[in-house]
Chains A and B, each alone.
Chain A
């Protein structure tokens, strides 16, 4: 197999509190998780930027959207791009916007894991709130298993953890000595290339590359409020169960078309962290 050697400069590894960190490796993951609305497995592409001290997990389209929208000129440019991609005008002068056509942000998770802080910070949107919370890295304790698997040419060892109400099995590559992985998974002596939860959510690395990308800090962090994780997850469940009523109470003139069966959120089936129900 073609080998690419990384020569990583010492200077770039030194950590400075205020300087922007350069990533050494970019990993792309395919995430499959069960969607509550459709009850089907939904695929999404996620990216992890890592160096030896920190990692950032996000979706590239979301990052692109948020980076553009963080400046006024960029926001204008973003609107133009979205309009160009999604808007169609009919002969009568009417127009329709189909957001499915364009590069629209659908995934709200950003997870920054920093060894020097001993914690990770998760920015996300739960219900209709933009929130963030910090979580100590010590909450995830792994037990190394016996099974091995080869992923993208790397021999990976399995490990198991019980974390926030789910049992996770992960496969990590000791040849890539960083203790990070997809989503909030971390703390193994090698990069996690595959992971499975006991409710069928999976992550699988689809690519690993050397990179020059910067681990940029969160765009527009002021738009997010700090909230307790369990409280936020419980509020999200309430929001999902009462979405129409909540929206109607906020915006008086909204009408929902079509009758939908009232469907209750089942945390034991859909939630990655059902420990908030305990």
Chain B
């Protein structure tokens, strides 16, 4: 031990004894690399734990301190290394302190002062500043961000408009099936969410075509980049209704590597989580094959209650998505499979309001729906400033089997087999010449087949309805666009061909004397041109489109062949005086053919009680639409708002007719003018509440729908009015508590021929409290209250309470125990009004459930 005696200053008052000055010196070294570490914090703590002396290691790793006595301990710490604590009296100086690589724990992800940043057209939301401790996936956090709205089905909107792209680290891996990412990716792996306003996904169109849509990009944290990340969970439990065991399992893997990206997930459960919703393609455009099922046998749906309360399911989902970057292009492959077995039971009382009497049908329904869905998609894309090529090949196979038993006034059983097959190849190529000229080729070929089979047994008799329905649609087009000083002129011209054949056959004992077999072939060829004019002036973007087309139809004697001419102009304007405000306006008028599936001369049974017959003639409908939208944002204040108003009118030369024959209803169409109108107004406001790291969102909407129908040979005018208002507020007022409160109110009224029903309102309140008494423990408790107005002045109240305890012994592991529906509410009844009937239903709810979950992550 190196000791140096100090000069003793005897005359110093109070210092009567001889004092030795001890030198504590040494060097700090990285045990792994053997390198000396500079900047390490070196602290001498006394026996009372207080800091006596401190310094930091110099650039050569050395340190030196003088001390009056060698009591207490030497503590050396540095970011990225384990802290070393050494008792002073056990050391010889100079000492070498070996530092072992280790973890420096930050107590909490607390927030940066700026939660939302704006840079040009990009708005960046810091995920850590919006996440609450109960959140798991990035989707949970997206819901809290002002300006962003996530619908119940997972669809994302920004300022009231659907997003047009969903990127992860700038790559479009998932296309429209981004529900897999929003539900799968942990919010702890995401650093920021970027919203790119006016996003033009095709680089080749930049500066030529304006986009008013926004895209979302997830910026991953470094730990989730350039590596595989995994998480998984396994749940087991017990439920009182349906009585039995519960399970839930999930495995999720993601790799975001420079040349290869992959996102794979497998999930299964029987505890009320509907997995089919995770693979919905939110960007899918409607199919040009335009087939829709004639047979309509479905399990009763439930309004006004969250689905996890009412879904009796067994579900499996597997999804694998890969992206390879090859040279200048990229190749993507996606495969999804899902299986859902859904069981439902309902006691229904249906009342038909006829002009002179009411007809009441009682039934108790129980059914099971087995659906398998397999979809695969292969995409090649080249996205450059001068060229864009995309080829998308997609195939879907769905199998759906529904079995439904009805007891009551109309005792019967139905079983339907409803497979669906669909394939499409979509090719698009855009080339830009001299910066101002664009040439586009498009070729889209779609094929769809919807075989349907329904078997109804009723009172010993059996009716069987078979339908085979196939369609092929092809569209080939070429377009030229020219841009000059803010003006873009384009002309697209092309050819469409459509071939469809439908056969149907109703067999068995029927009390209707009509012929019951259809064989329809409907084909058309269309030549079309779509001139478009787009220009910018003084921060206003104006777009005028005037598509015209000529179509030749042949119906093989079902109807007379004919030719039609269509013109559907549209004008839209967007004004952005600054980066905070935008105002849009759109007006359109269109003429379009009727749905060709209405060509069906003979009846088809759609379910045990309804039959339908098609039109006798070919009709075209016209419609007009006016809409305006307004958006405002102030990112530094965290304030976002938008409003939308739309009025539309439709004019149909044919009208839906409803007739009752005994217990049966026949839907058909007759030549009679039907004028409809639709009005929608909605508004949304979101604001950050920085004082409690929270947000508040308020929304409201009003809509009105007017339509016509012929019932029992009498024209009926119906007006449906509805309005809704809602708010959500969340935040962490203290370090150990976070709160979320949601209120939704909806009210609707149906007016038939001036006889006004009363307004019926539904209110939903939800309060969630989340306590974090200790870093390793969390306790959630939440209550949902529903107040449902079943009839004027008749209110049904329901309170559902859940609780959850979470324990995180280490950061990669989480254990949780959930007790849901503590009050064990098992039934729920409600009444809904449709056009000419009322429908009262008593449904089962998921009873009290206890679930234990283990989650791990890497």
Contact = CB atoms under 8 A, between A and B. Distances in A.
Contact of B106 (A6, A13, A77, A206): A6
Contacts of B39: 52-53, 115, 178-179
Contacts of B191: 212
Interface in B196-245: 221-223
Nearest to A27: B112
Interface string B715-752: 00000000000000000000110000000000000000
Contacts of B33: 10
B578 A84 contact: yes
Contacts of B105: 3-6, 175
Contacts of B775: 1-3
Given A2-B772, A5-B811, A209 B112 contact: yes
A124 to B, nearest CB: 21
Interface stretch (A149-157, A194-202, A244-252): A149-157
A15 interface: yes
Contact of A177 (B30, B38, B104, B808): B104
Nearest to B43: A189
Interface string B9-50: 000000000000000000000101101001111110000001
Interface in B89-113: 101, 103-113
A188 B133 CA distance: 32
A4 B221 CA distance: 13
Interface in A130-184: 144, 146, 152-154, 157, 174-179
B111 A52 contact: no
B83 interface: yes
B112 A153 contact: no
A107 interface: no
B114 interface: yes
Interface in A39-62: 45, 47, 51-53, 60
Interface stretch (B51-59, B276-284, B395-403, B453-461): B51-59
How many interface residues does chain A have, given as a range? 35 or more
A8 interface: yes
B80 A9 contact: yes
A1 B770 CA distance: 12
B79 A51 contact: yes
A60 to B, nearest CB: 6
Contacts of A52: 39-40, 78-80
> Of B51, B78, B104, which is in contact with the most chain A CB atoms at under 10 Å from its CB?
B104
Interface string A80-97: 010011111100000000
Contact of A179 (B41, B114, B188, B736): B41
Contact of B222 (A60, A86, A154, A212): A212
A208 interface: yes
Contact of B35 (A14, A103, A212): A14
B106 A209 contact: yes
B118 interface: yes
Contacts of B80: 6-10, 13, 24, 52
Given A24-B80, A81-B120, A189-B51, A1 B108 contact: yes
A212 to B, nearest CB: 5
Interface residues of B, number: 59
B225 to A, nearest CB: 9
Interface in B113-147: 113-114, 117-120, 128-129, 133
A116 interface: yes
B77 interface: yes
Contact of B113 (A2, A77, A152, A206): A206
Nearest to B580: A85
A210 B109 contact: yes
B198 to A, nearest CB: 12
Contact of B56 (A14, A144, A189): A189
Interface string A1-36: 111111111100111000000001110111000000
Nearest to B131: A2
A45 B113 contact: yes
Contacts of A14: 35
A210 B106 contact: yes
Nearest to B42: A189
B110 A116 contact: no
A10 B38 contact: no
Given A2-B133, A3-B105, A190-B41, A28 B113 contact: yes
B692 to A, nearest CB: 13
Contacts of B79: 6, 8, 13, 24-25, 51-52, 176-178
B579 interface: yes
20 contacts: A2-B772, A7-B80, A24-B80, A53-B38, A53-B39, A60-B117, A81-B120, A81-B579, A85-B580, A103-B118, A144-B54, A152-B107, A154-B107, A157-B51, A178-B41, A179-B56, A189-B54, A208-B106, A212-B191, A212-B222
Given A1-B772, A84-B579, 6 more contacts: A28-B112, A77-B120, A144-B51, A177-B83, A209-B106, A209-B128
Shortest 3 CB-CB distances between A and B: which pairs? A8-B80, A177-B77, A189-B54
